[in-house]
Each structure stands twice: as structure tokens, then as C-alpha cells.
């Protein structure tokens, strides 16, 4: 399955592609009673293993999946309660030395209008997003040996922290050596994300014909290097649609297990990007299309197999599906996104500079309203990164059911802060009513008295109060 060069290292890779293929081929469907018995015992501590996930994937019984969905909802609530974290991506550069067949940033895309933001321009974009209420951003770059290296990313992180009130910045960038990753970490990055795109080596080779990214092994080992560089929190994912989703999902779960076994922590986030046609890219449709029904199963599987992970759904997905998967275990969503560098301040869409076309184009305010209407609490919280509840400590607390006790007060404080700053009177009133209703969940909490105190201070105009 692997190229000769990769085969040399296969035993040291975090995920064995042959092992995943074997698991899929040999997994027997679960009988209904067997499935119910398994699903009933799942919890944040008793997660679905990769072998059990393979058997669940092989099962096509709607009643089993209904029960799995209910369990995913319950596990999500045991870990995080009813908060939904909102974030925005900030695209820094669409200059890239790779030629990924599915991406608008690819080197040979003649239609792309190339933009690389200076650190100061990135800070201006961040200020725009700060005015929208965001305190956490995901910085995204293409992979270019001269334009988007570690020093550029580190300088940009420092410029944004210096020039805005942003509280935590995560990074989605190319795989790098340990010293480069350390430079980014030391500049204040929270989570470091690299998506493998596809874990299937032959598909990987076909999709990434040239550039640094053609090296499968270099990419799949990046999370290990990030951990060595001091990142307690990393983000993984597969671009769904390049190969059989069943293979990709089992590989991501196995990757998560590898990180737990080797570093004592699950990935902090698992993203579920689904293929979208990009302008100027040769791949006009997903080779292995993922239906909405399969997408829902993927979210359920990630929640049950990696309970502490933030399952992240972006604006690639249509509005209705994004709303539905909140009830199936998704816990983080982007809002009001632009995928062209400089696109926020620019204000109008520049398709020729986008990585992909956004489906859910609703503004942040509409997303806040939607989350509230579905009975969840929109959260702009960043406290775990700043209180050092990260990496192994976070994983332990999450599987012990001890994170949600922080999520609720922090979500309510961040929502109250958002409401105080909102220009829209009706939106402010809706948010404050949700804070008032949410306070009931604090009854009996050891943080109740301190929470009341902090909430009063936030409503009086203080900012950035959290636990």
C-alpha cells in the first residue's frame, strides 16, 4: 500500500493503513442486542474502541444508529454540558508550494489571486473579528517554503496578541520540524492542527503529486513532533470524500489512540471537513462522496470514540446539517467565516482567493441566535488554554466529567460579555435571557458564589472574567 520510501517507516507511523484495511474487511456487523449492550455502557471514560467502531460502521440498522446518536448526545453533555464553542478562521496566506488536487491554493492554479498578509494586516483582520465578539481564532496558511515558515507565523501571532484583545490563537499550518513547531508554540499558539487529508497512502500519493506535502510519512508524524515541541493540544482530521469515509474515520480514531498511548492525551480537536469544489482545482467532485447521513454517523463515531475531543464543524457544511449535528456530538462551529486572506476587512467575496466556497454564509449574530434557539449556550470561552487545563490534564478532567463544571460558568460569562458589547438591542436581550436561564445550572456548584460575583462584574462592564 505504501511507497517504498514510506514502507521503510511504516512500523513507526502512528496509523497502520494495512491494519485499518484489515479491521474494515474483517469487522462483523453488530447484532441489534449486541449493539444495544455495547452502546449502553459508553461514557466519557468507557469510549468506543477502534475495533468496536469498525463493527458499528459495518452495522446498517437504523435503530442501532438512533441509539448511537442518543449516546453521542449524552456523552457530549457529560463532557461539555450544553455549550457550543464559536470561533472564526483567519486565513493568512494562500501562497502554496503544493499541488493538492482539491485545493484552490494549489501552486499550479492559474486563477488564484495570491495574497499573504503582513503580521500587521493579520492584526487588522483580527481586530475586525474581535469587534464581532471573537476571542479565539484559528490562523490558517498554505505551505510555502519562503512565505509561510515558522518565523512568519510566530511574528503574526505576536502581532495579533500585541495589537488586539485576542485571548487564544490556534494554528493550522504545514508539518514542520520540532524546533520550528517550538518557535510557534513559544509565540503563544494554543492548538496546532494538521489534517492528514487522507490516511489512505495510495490516494494520498494521487492527491498530492508534488511539493513537500507529497511526503505522507512527514505529514502523519507531525502531531508527534508537535507534542515533542510542547504542544499539549493538537488537532487532527481527514478531508472527507477523497477516499472511503469508513477507512478515514477508523484511521483518525486510531491516530487519536496513538496520541493517548504515547503522550497521555487525545487530540484536542477532530475536524470533519467534507470535500468542496474549489475554483481552479482539477478535482470537480469528491471521488468518494459522503452523504449527509454518513456525515452524521461520522460525527457520532468521533464523539463516542474520542469523548474529550472538540468535534469541529465548519461553514463548508450547509446550515441545516450544521444545526443537526449539534444534537449528535459536534461541539465547536465556526461562524461568519471568510476563507480568502484579508477577506474580513475587505467585506466582499473574492472567489479567486478562497480555499473553498463557504456554504453556511450566515453572520455571527445569526449563528448565536441559532445556537440559542436550539437550546445550547454559545460560548466564546478560552479559559482552559489560559488556566493550563490542556493536554493530559484536560483529557483526564474531561473523561472524569470534570470539565463541564467549568464550561457552564465560562460559557455564561462569555455570553454575558458578548451581550454587553452587542449593538443589537434585541440580540442583547436574547443573550441576557439565556444567561439568566443558564444560571439555574449553577445551583449547587462549588463555583456558584464566585460565579455570581463575576457575572455582576461582567454586566457592569468588566471583561475577560473566567474560571
Tell me the angle at which helices 17-26 and 245-263 cross, rounded to the nearest 10 degrees. 120
- The distance of closest approach from Cβ of residue 466 to ligand SF4 in the complex, given in angstroms and rounded to an integer, is 7
- The distance of closest approach from Cβ of residue 108 to ligand SF4 in the complex, given in angstroms and rounded to an integer, is 40
User: Do 363 and 344 form a contact (C-beta atoms < 8 A)?
Assistant: no
Secondary element (H or E) of residue 153: helix 150-163
Tell me the C-alpha distance between 98 and 199, whole Å. Answer: 18
Task: State which residue, 87 or 245, has the beta carbon closest to ligand SF4.
Answer: 87
The three grid cell numbers given for residue 203, joined into one nine-digit string: 490516494
The three grid cell numbers given for residue 60, joined into one nine-digit string: 446498517
- The distance of closest approach from Cβ of residue 394 to ligand SF4 in the complex, given in angstroms and rounded to an integer, is 7
Window 373-412: contact mask with ligand SF4 (x via CB under 6 A):
------x-xxxx----x-------------x--xx--x--
The three grid cell numbers given for residue 391, joined into one nine-digit string: 493536554
Window 308-327: contact mask with ligand SF4 (x via CB under 6 A):
--------------------
User: Do 336 and 364 form a contact (C-beta atoms < 8 A)?
Assistant: yes
- The distance of closest approach from Cβ of residue 387 to ligand SF4 in the complex, given in angstroms and rounded to an integer, is 8
Task: State which residue, 96 or 326, has the beta carbon closest to ligand SF4.
Answer: 326
Q: In sequence order, which residues have a C-beta less than 8 Å from that of residue 30 and are 6 or more positions away?
A: 38, 55, 56, 58, 59, 61, 64
Total residues at the site for ligand SF4 (CB under 6 A)?
12
Task: State which residue, 83 or 274, has the beta carbon closest to ligand SF4.
Answer: 83
- The distance of closest approach from Cβ of residue 403 to ligand SF4 in the complex, given in angstroms and rounded to an integer, is 5
Window 84-113: contact mask with ligand SF4 (x via CB under 6 A):
-x----------------------------
- The distance of closest approach from Cβ of residue 126 to ligand SF4 in the complex, given in angstroms and rounded to an integer, is 19
User: Do 370 and 362 form a contact (C-beta atoms < 8 A)?
Assistant: yes
**Binders of ligand SF4 in range 57-86 (CB under 6 A):** 83, 85
The three grid cell numbers given for residue 149, joined into one nine-digit string: 515558515
User: Do 252 and 239 form a contact (C-beta atoms < 8 A)?
Assistant: no
Task: State which residue, 337 or 383, has the beta carbon closest to ligand SF4.
Answer: 383
Task: State which residue, 153 or 403, has the beta carbon closest to ligand SF4.
Answer: 403
Tell me the C-alpha distance between 89 and 312, whole Å. Answer: 12
Q: Which residue is nearest to ligand SF4 (CB)?
A: 384
Instruction: Assess 458 for contact with ligand SF4 (CB under 6 A).
Output: no
- The distance of closest approach from Cβ of residue 352 to ligand SF4 in the complex, given in angstroms and rounded to an integer, is 36
Binding site for ligand SF4 (CB under 6 A): 83, 85, 379, 381-384, 389, 403, 406-407, 410
Amino acid at each position: 500500500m505504501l511507497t517504498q520510501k514510506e514502507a521503510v517507516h511504516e512500523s513507526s507511523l502512528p496509523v497502520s493503513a494495512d491494519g485499518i484495511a484489515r479491521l474494515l474487511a474483517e469487522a462483523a456487523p453488530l447484532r441489534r442486542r449486541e449493539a444495544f449492550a455495547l452502546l449502553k455502557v459508553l461514557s466519557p471514560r468507557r469510549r468506543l474502541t477502534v475495533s468496536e467502531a469498525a463493527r458499528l460502521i459495518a452495522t446498517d440498522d437504523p435503530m442501532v444508529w438512533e441509539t448511537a446518536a442518543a449516546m453521542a448526545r449524552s456523552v457530549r453533555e457529560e463532557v461539555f454540558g450544553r455549550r457550543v464553542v464559536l470561533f472564526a478562521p483567519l486565513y493568512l496566506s494562500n501562497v502554496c508550494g503544493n499541488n493538492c488536487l482539491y485545493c484552490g491554493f494549489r501552486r499550479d492554479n492559474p486563477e488564484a489571486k495570491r495574497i499573504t498578509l503582513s503580521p500587521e494586516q493579520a492584526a487588522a483582520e483580527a481586530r475586525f473579528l474581535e469587534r464581532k465578539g471573537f476571542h479565539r481564532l484559528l490562523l490558517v496558511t498554505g505551505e510555502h517554503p519562503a512565505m509561510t515558515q515558522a518565523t512568519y507565523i510566530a511574528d503574526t501571532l505576536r502581532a495579533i496578541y500585541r495589537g488586539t484583545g485576542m485571548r487564544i490563537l490556534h494554528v493550522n499550518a504545514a508539518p514542520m520540524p520540532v524546533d520550528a513547531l517550538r518557535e510557534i508554540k513559544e509565540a503563544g499558539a494554543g492548538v496546532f492542527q494538521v489534517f492528514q487529508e487522507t490516511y489512505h497512502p495510495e490516494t494520498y500519493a494521487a492527491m498530492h503529486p508534488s511539493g513537500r506535502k507529497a511526503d505522507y510519512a512527514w505529514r502523519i508524524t507531525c502531531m508527534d513532533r508537535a507534542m515533542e515541541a510542547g504542544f499539549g493540544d493538537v488537532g487532527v482530521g481527514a478531508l472527507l470524500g477523497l477516499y472511503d469515509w469508513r477507512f478515514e474515520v477508523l484511521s483518525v480514531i486510531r491516530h487519536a489512540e496513538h496520541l493517548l498511548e504515547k503522550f497521555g492525551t487525545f487530540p484536542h480537536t477532530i475536524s470533519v471537513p467534507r470535500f468542496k469544489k474549489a475554483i481552479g482545482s482539477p478535482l470537480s467532485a469528491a471521488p468518494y462522496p459522503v452523504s449527509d447521513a454518513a456525515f452524521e454517523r461520522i460525527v457520532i463515531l468521533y464523539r463516542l470514540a474520542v469523548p474529550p475531543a472538540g468535534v469541529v464543524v465548519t461553514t463548508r457544511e450547509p446550515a441545516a446539517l450544521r444545526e443537526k449535528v449539534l444534537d449528535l456530538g459536534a461541539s465547536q462551529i465556526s461562524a461568519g467565516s471568510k476563507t480568502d486572506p484579508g477577506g474580513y476587512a475587505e467585506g466582499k467575496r473574492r472567489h479567486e482567493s478562497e480555499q473553498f466556497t463557504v456554504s453556511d454564509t450566515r453572520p455571527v449574530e445569526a449563528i448565536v441566535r441559532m445556537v440559542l434557539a436550539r437550546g445550547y449556550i454559545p460560548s466564546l470561552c478560552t479559559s482552559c488554554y489560559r488556566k493550563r487545563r490542556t493536554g493530559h490534564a484536560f483529557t483526564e478532567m474531561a473523561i472524569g466529567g470534570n470539565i463541564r463544571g467549568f464550561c457552564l460558568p465560562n460559557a455564561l460569562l462569555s455570553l454575558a460579555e458578548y451581550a454587553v458589547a452587542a449593538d443589537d438591542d434585541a440580540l442583547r436581550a436574547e443573550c441576557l435571557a439565556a444567561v439568566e436561564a443558564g444560571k439555574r445550572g449553577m445551583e449547587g456548584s462549588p463555583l456558584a458564589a464566585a460565579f455570581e460575583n463575576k457575572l455582576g462584574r461582567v454586566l457592569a462592564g468588566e471583561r475577560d472574567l473566567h474560571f
